[in-house]
Amino acid sequence: MFPGSLRVFYEAVTTGSIRRASDVLGLAPSSVSRQIAILEREMGTALLERSVGGVTPTHAGRMVADYARSVILDYDSLRADLNDLRGKRRGLIRIAVVEIMICESSGEAIRAFRLTNPDVAFQVQMLSAARVSEAVQRGECDVGITFCQPPHPDINVAARVVDPIVLVVPPRHPFGDAAVVPVEAMQVLPLALLEADLGVRRLADQVAHEAGFKLQPVLRSDSVEALRHFVRNGVGAALLTRRAVKRDEDEGRLHSLDIDHSLFQTSTIDVITLRSRRSSRLLRSFVDGLISTLGRLD
């Protein structure tokens, strides 16, 4: 359907190395180099700049890589649909997800989908919100579950589910009877926060800056579980989304409090896909199930 050299070239660009591309594709490095040389002759221009550190695309190479990504994704989707027509619902669905949602959404959606599609395999990457969006744009995953996805011309937001950022405290905390706590509560409590490059933390820093103070966490971590553990042990409070602590709250181990700020109350978990990609029926079916799962958990 399309030249195999396109896939070889795209893998070299993605990995930044002829050798790494050969490992991914299961080809000898000499075969990878040969196919790229053939493609360069067909295009009539150099597509890669080669150095000791690896390969980088030229301007023409970036254009060819963008085209190759689109062709490869559409071709793989077409093959999945043809397998579906033959009654062979097989394939690999790649998911990029922020850690807050790794158990509460993707795990449940995968479990439900595999009840009717036992031959479908999954790959789940845990990334920051910004990296989830990048992975979708680059075709490194098929669907992303991210946090507060900003508008982007290449991204289709299939669903947005409101998931407020809350102040998480131990049960029977002095603040526990309050319906809503002021933003300044973040300043007076020993606080655990996610790392600065993660979506919840970026929003918290923005709100604190607007309120005229800087957050000084007692604990910083890229692990949601580390923050939950911090609060369960009675060390202090944490900022997380309500969905991230729902199970602990249902079982009486944690308590969540609304914070009096519109950005915290309207934050969302978003399901995103690549706008220009032809989605297979298998992928569309999974995304529909994922959105349904998010709705039930909500």
59-91 pLDDT tens trace: 998 888 888 877 877 777 777 667 666 656 557
129-148 confidence digits (pLDDT tens):
888 999 998 888 899 999 89
Range 193-219 average pLDDT = 91
Task: Quote the mean pLDDT of the chain.
Answer: 86
Is the entire prediction scored with pTM above 0.75?
no
**Residue found under tokens 């150095």:** 51
Instruction: Answer for the pair 237, 204: CB distance below 8 angstroms, yes or no.
Output: no
Domains identified in the chain and CATH numbers: 4-81 (1.10.10.10), 95-154+271-297 (3.40.190.10), 165-265 (3.40.190.10)
